[in-house]
Amino acid sequence: MGLNSYSFRVRYAETDQMGVVYHGNYAQYLEMGRVEWLRALGVTYKSMEDGGIMLPVISLHIDYKKSALYDDLLTVETQLKSKPLVKIEFDYKVFNEEGDLLATAHTILAFMDKKTGRPIKCPDYILERLED
């Protein structure tokens, strides 16, 4: 299913004293990949939230392979794992500019009604765009 790539540079504030990216920042990198995956589909988080839908992460798994360093150009590849229902699952790969695989990851998010806080099915406008 749809694969999207997003690249950015590691900022100094994201690293420790050795210039290595702090492991907790990878969750933000994955979010950046997801946001850009949705944007490439023609959907934004803002438009979903304005429409009353939230998409919280309910599961996050990261396997670290190699360290990312200050000023590295990283690329997050985000791929939809399967057709979303109430949950949407993504697989990720994070590479540096040399093409080294730095991390693999998997997230599960749930479509939630903003007012009730209850799970809902994936909006039709997302399903329709996935079929294009």
Active site residue 16: yes
d(CA 111, CA 132) in angstroms, rounded, equals 21
Distance of CA 112 to the CA centre of its chain: 17
d(CA 44, CA 84) in angstroms, rounded, equals 16
* Sequence-ordered list of residues with C-beta below 8 angstroms from that of 12, at least 6 positions apart, any chain: 70
Largest Cα separation within the chain, whole Å, is: 47
d(CA 21, CA 95) in angstroms, rounded, equals 13
Q: Looking at 16, 71, 100, 113, which residue is catalytic?
A: 16
Active site residues: 16
